[in-house]
Amino acid sequence: MFPNGVGAYVDLMADLVPGMKDGSVRTALDTGCGVASWGGDLLARNILTVSLAPRDNHEAQVQFALERGIPAILGIISTQRLPIPSASMDMAHCSRCLIPWTEFGGLYLMEIQRVLRPGGFWVLSGPPINYENRWHGWNTTVEAQKADFDRLKKMLASMCFRLYNKKGDIAVWQKSLDAGCYDKLTPVTTPAKCDDSVDADAAWYVPMRSCVTAPSPKSRGKALPKWPQRLGVAPERVSVVPGGSGSAMKHDDGKWKAATKHYKALLPALGSDKVRNVMDMSTVYGGFAASLVKDPVWVMNVVSSYGPNSLGVVYDRGLIGTNHDCARPSPRTHGRTICCTPTASSPQNHTDAR
């Protein structure tokens, strides 16, 4: 999918998604990421990507991505929700990721719909995009690929997406900001609108649901501040933290700035090109990551499944992270620095996707 290199591919995509150039797109998800070249290119464009791949016949793709210095996690869109809150990603991407998007009533598309923000972009390249010119290389027929593309467009439209742009091998859909579209959905329509029986942000071993997640009334029609302004703005979800507020988040940032200054005195490599990736194993607002945002390093923020699920706050600030249960064995981090609370357990080598 990158015949002229990933840089040329992303340049074309940036022409189709203007928000990639002005700070509107800051957080992204790459499904079936391979060795995460797409996410690696976006780092230089101030876009943080969670690159996702399974441990399959391609073996250790995620390990390779981490060793390249690119954010990545083991995982697959299958039966469980991704360990990511709802409305967290400005953009999601699939480049020939071989996920059957139109199967199972569009269940996997509904998970993409859940994690995308209102106004966020869903970018797809590979089958069935550009089927008119590519079908002969996909071991199929042009009629079958046209039917799949028509099915895809219909499903996405029913989930409140509109076809935003299309050129060559890349198609871009945008998730609606219009409250009217979601108001037409009910628990008995096809597709159904999700009820409130399961928190849309709950994502630690939570089964995927065959329904469309409607944005909260407060967030409808609103876009987050552009990057880097959003880093210092307390989002609506700050209220999930006991005692959480804009002033509490600002106070937390101040403490972390002082702490990080002390860390750098003890570990001069932090802030240099010798430390590329960091895991903060027990974050609340993402303050440690915010204190390092100008350094050549990325931070994977971990929010424990035992406490308040503040991971949405982390993403709303333009940072990335994951839910985790620190009592379970963790995957290899390949990080040079780990920051954790005194009660957090240390990671062990393990191949569990979570």
Residue range(s) of every CATH 3.40.50.150 domain in the chain: 6-183, 229-339
Average pLDDT, the chain: 88
pLDDT at 109 over 50: yes
> Are the C-beta atoms of residues 349 and 332 closer than 8 Å to each other?
yes
Nearest to 32 by CA among 58, 9, 50, 51: 51
Residue 305: band (very low, low, confident or very high) from pLDDT cuts 50, 70, 90:
confident
CA distance 49 to 30: 7
Residue with more model confidence, 342 or 59: 59
The CATH number that domain 6-183 falls under is 3.40.50.150
By mean pLDDT, which of 90-104, 206-220, 240-254, 260-274 is the weakest? 206-220
pLDDT digits (tens, 9 = 90+) for 48-78: 999 998 876 667 888 889 999 999 998 888 8
In angstroms and rounded to an integer, the radius of gyration of the C-alpha atoms of the chain is 20
pLDDT at 165 exceeding the cut of 90 = yes
Distances in whole angstroms, Cα of residue 41 to Cα of each of 1, 6, 8, 36, 306: 15, 7, 10, 9, 35
Pick the CATH number of 229-339 from 1.10.760.10, 3.40.50.12280, 1.10.3720.10, 3.40.50.150: 3.40.50.150
